[in-house]
Structures are given as C-alpha cells and as structure tokens.
C-alpha cells in the first residue's frame, strides 16, 4: 500500500514575490522520481445562483502557491492524478490514461466552496460543489513528450469556465527527465518542423466540402394525458476531433428518421432528449422564469464504438419566448456547447410549456438582425420624408393663398 503513496515536491514559479497566477508542480514517486510535471496559468470563472434569484459570477486566478499532496503517480490499474488544492476549499484535478504510444487526460474536476461568503457572496446553495469535464484537456500526446501550449484554451463545464495558458505538462515522465516538446496546434498553425512528412500530399486537409443542411424533424414529449412539449428543428453538430494533435472540424447531421424523442415536462423545467441511434444524444433543458421560458442547457453525448464523450453547456439563455406561446426562428443559429462542439440549428420551433391540444400556440419570432435593424430605419426615413412633405405643401399652400388674396 505504501508503494501507492507518493511524495510531492512543489516549487514556486518565479521569484516568489511576483504574482504570476501560475502554478508549477512536480509529482514524484517514492523513489523521488518525477512522474508528472505541470506548470500553467489559469483563470476560473464560476457562476452561481444568489438568494435573490439572480446569477452572479466570480473570476479567480490560480495562485502560484498550491498544495499538490493529493496527487499520485498511480500504479497498476490506478490512473495517475494531478491534484492541486488552493484557497479555501478550492481544488483542481486531472487524471490521465495512456496506450502503447500516447497519453491523454481523462477527467477534469474543479471543486469550489460556495460556503465561502467572501468569494461567493449571497450564494443560494452552500457547500462544496464539483464541476467535471470529460472533454480532453489536450489531445493525445506521444509518450515521453511534453505538451506545451502558450495559447489560451477554455474548458467549459457545469457553471465553470476555465481558461488556461502557458501550459507545460507531462504525465508518465521517465527517469525524471522531461521529453521533447509537443506543441499544441494553436501555437503552431503550420506543420511542426519535427514532422517528417511535410509534403502537401500527406498533410491532412480540413474538409471544406459544403455540407447539406440537416432535415427538419418534428419531435414531441408526452405526459400521461397528451403532448406537453413540441419541437421541430434541423440539427447539425460541428465538433473538433484531435487527429495527430491537429484539430479537424467534422460536421454531423441529425437524421430525424432515425432519431427518437423523449423527455419530461415539469412546471418550471422541461427536457427534450433526442437520441439518434447512429451515435448521438442531444438533450435540451428548458427553464421557465416568471412569464418566459428559455433554453438553459444543452448536453451532447457522442458515441464512437465504446468511447463516449459528453459536452454540456448549462449557461445558455436562448430561444426566449413568453409562456403560452411558441418560439420560432427560421434562420440558422449557433449554439456553442464548448470550444470543441457547436450545434447549428435550422428552422427551430419549440414550445416546452403550456401546450394546448397538442398544437403550437402563437409563435414569437426570433430577432432577425438584418430585417429588424432595417425596419425602424426605413419607418423613420419615411416618417421624416412625410413630415417634410407636409411642411413644404403647407408652406406652398400658404404662399398660394396669400398671392391669391393679393391678386383680388
């Protein structure tokens, strides 16, 4: 059991006096050999509900001094874990997996303490809250190489947005020696000079072929007595896959013919779950506040063989309309679920609450930026023109009547 325990040394970056909002951690094993090295700058933005039903957000920076004693090198089937604790009950952790040639991060966890009234004034829910993300912190990195990324990268998980930059990280370090540098794609837009085959023939090109718009599907959710949620829309998932350390965006249309809808209807929240048997589950969570509803959360689960990835954005405020009406938007819209996953929506009509007779109620159309911008300008121009016209004809009329009187 002792062999599972690890010693952790921790060094502070820079001159100690400098506030760099970066931490620098070596995780070492019993033989005092480094197994994980991490240095990065990070900002965390946390949203929380306050007692007066508003949402507040707080941004904090990772300090240069952290406690990494919860980390471990991992042995046997146990995954290596990098865990840093700081401040009052705050912690951040990342565990790792590897195969024969590559390693990657698995689950990212951020824990914060809303009982801390200094940091989270007026928080409604108090206690230790945890937000996790399965979206890869970095792509697959060759074993014995050090991942480096100066560019910022954002990870969005439930109620927390995490921004990282100046990242240097290696897990499964051998002989306490960091390996060659493996740059993130954001830092090196051109193929890295270490790549052997840099001829254009072997460089994967992003797919630029135009993609068909998805078919619009009609979906509903029923309760015991009838349809309680109606939705129709075309959905297209645009996700970035890591291929050899490069981000390749791929587009996937949801086929209504193979998609089943399910969900639940509540008094102030409703869920629509679309399950495309090809591999995708998209869940829409609607909330009712006062007299309006809106789309609050979207949760996308992508399956590829036995691998699943889940991406959630719980901080949306889209598709807003009054209760008793439906929301309608013909134009294409974008829902940003994470940095690496967007949804393009087409011809959306939804009514998550107060469905009468299984049919849509009056539609509230989305703001069409092109038209709505022009209408007031057009109306204003016409009004001004008419006022000027009336004024001129009044002046002409007056002059005519004066000359008329004079001639008599």
Ligand X SMILES: *[C@@H]1O[C@H](CO)[C@@H](O)[C@H](O)[C@H]1NC(C)=O
For residue 322, the minimal CB distance to ligand X (Å) is 16
Q: Which of residues 15-34 bind ligand X (CB under 6 A)?
A: 32
Find the Cα–Cα–Cα–Cα dihedral 237, 238, 243, 248, rounded to 10°.
Answer: 160
Asked if 249 is part of the footprint of ligand X (rule: CB under 6 A), the reply reads yes
Find the Cα–Cα–Cα–Cα dihedral 382, 384, 387, 389, rounded to 10°.
Answer: -70
Asked if 362 is part of the footprint of ligand X (rule: CB under 6 A), the reply reads no
Shorter beta-carbon distance to ligand X: residue 51 or 389: 51
Cα distance between residue 389 and residue 383, in whole Å: 10
Asked if 10 is part of the footprint of ligand X (rule: CB under 6 A), the reply reads no
Backbone angles phi, psi at 386, to 5 degrees: -70, -40
Q: Which among 89-97, 189-197, 320-328, 387-395 is the span making contact with ligand X, rule CB under 6 A? A: 89-97
Q: Contact at 8 Å (CB) between 24 and 39?
A: yes
Shorter beta-carbon distance to ligand X: residue 67 or 188: 67
Shorter beta-carbon distance to ligand X: residue 55 or 399: 55
Q: Contact at 8 Å (CB) between 229 and 265?
A: yes
Among 20, 113, 146, 242, binds ligand X (CB under 6 A): 113
Q: Which of residues 365-394 bind ligand X (CB under 6 A)?
A: none
Among 10, 168, 211, 248, binds ligand X (CB under 6 A): 211
Asked if 278 is part of the footprint of ligand X (rule: CB under 6 A), the reply reads no
Q: Which of residues 318-357 bind ligand X (CB under 6 A)?
A: 342, 344, 355-357
Q: Which among 194-202, 299-307, 363-371, 395-403 is the span making contact with ligand X, rule CB under 6 A? A: 299-307
Among 10, 12, 163, 168, binds ligand X (CB under 6 A): 163
Asked if 267 is part of the footprint of ligand X (rule: CB under 6 A), the reply reads no
Q: Contact at 8 Å (CB) between 80 and 154?
A: no
Asked if 140 is part of the footprint of ligand X (rule: CB under 6 A), the reply reads no
The residues, any chain, with a CB within 8 Å of residue 34's CB and separated by 6 or more, are 26, 27, 28, 173, 176
Question: Residue 306: helix, strand or coil by DSSP?
Answer: coil
Determine the distance from the C-alpha atom of residue 324 to the mean position of all C-alpha atoms in its chain, rounded to a whole number: 30
Asked if 97 is part of the footprint of ligand X (rule: CB under 6 A), the reply reads yes
Cα distance between residue 311 and residue 302, in whole Å: 9
Q: How many residues at the interface with ligand X, by CB under 6 A?
A: 56
Cα distance between residue 323 and residue 210, in whole Å: 38
- Token representation of residue 305: 């063989």
Residue 99 DSSP symbol: -
Beta strands at 145-149 and 180-183: parallel, antiparallel or unpaired = parallel
Residue 356 DSSP symbol: B
Under the rule (CB under 6 A), what is the footprint of ligand X? 7, 9, 32, 43, 50, 52, 54, 56, 59, 61, 79, 88-89, 95, 97, 106-107, 109, 113, 115-116, 121-122, 128, 144, 158, 163, 174-175, 177, 211, 215, 223-226, 228, 238, 241, 249, 251, 255, 257, 281, 283, 299, 301, 304-305, 310, 312, 342, 344, 355-357
């Amino acid at each position: 059991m002792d062999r599972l325990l690890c010693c952790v040394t921790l060094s502070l970056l820079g001159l100690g006096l400098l506030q760099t909002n970066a931490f620098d951690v070596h995780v070492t094993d019993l033989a005092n050999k480094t197994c994980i090295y991490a240095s990065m700058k990070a900002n965390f933005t946390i949203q929380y509900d306050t007692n007066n039903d508003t949402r507040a957000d707080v941004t904090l920076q990772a300090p240069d001094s952290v406690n990494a004693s919860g980390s471990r090198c991992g042995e046997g089937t146990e995954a290596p874990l990098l865990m840093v604790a700081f401040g009052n009950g705050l912690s951040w952790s990342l565990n790792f997996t590897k195969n024969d040639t590559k390693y990657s991060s698995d689950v990212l966890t951020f824990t914060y303490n809303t009982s801390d009234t200094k940091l989270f004034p007026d928080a409604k829910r108090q206690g230790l809250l945890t937000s996790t993300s399965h979206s890869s912190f970095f792509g697959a990195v060759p074993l014995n190489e050090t991942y480096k990324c100066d560019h910022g990268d954002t990870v969005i998980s439930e109620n927390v947005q995490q921004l990282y930059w100046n990242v240097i990280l290696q897990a499964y370090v051998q002989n306490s020696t960091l390996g060659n540098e493996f740059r993130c794609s954001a830092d090196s837009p051109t193929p890295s000079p270490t790549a052997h085959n840099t001829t254009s023939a072997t460089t994967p090109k992003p797919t630029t072929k135009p993609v068909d718009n998805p078919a619009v599907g009609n979906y509903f959710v029923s309760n015991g007595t009838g349809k309680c949620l109606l939705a129709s829309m075309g959905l297209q998932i645009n996700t970035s896959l890591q291929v050899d350390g490069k981000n390749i965006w791929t587009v996937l249309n949801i086929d209504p013919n193979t998609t089943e809808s399910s969900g639940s209807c509540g008094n102030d929240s409703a869920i629509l779950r679309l399950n495309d048997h090809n591999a995708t589950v998209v869940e829409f969570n609607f909330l009712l506040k006062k007299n309006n509803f809106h789309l609050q959360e979207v949760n996308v689960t992508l399956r590829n063989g036995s691998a699943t990835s889940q991406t959630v954005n719980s901080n949306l405020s889209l598709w807003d309309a009054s209760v008793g009406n439906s929301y309608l938007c013909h134009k294409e819209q974008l829902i940003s679920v994470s940095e690496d996953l967007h949804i393009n929506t087409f011809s959306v009509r939804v009514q998550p609450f107060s469905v009468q007779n299984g049919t849509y109620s009056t539609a509230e159309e989305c703001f069409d930026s092109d038209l709505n911008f022009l209408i007031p300008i057009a109306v204003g121009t016409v009004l001004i023109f008419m006022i000027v016209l009336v004024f001129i004809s009044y002046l002409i009329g007056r002059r005519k009547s004066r000359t008329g009187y004079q001639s008599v």
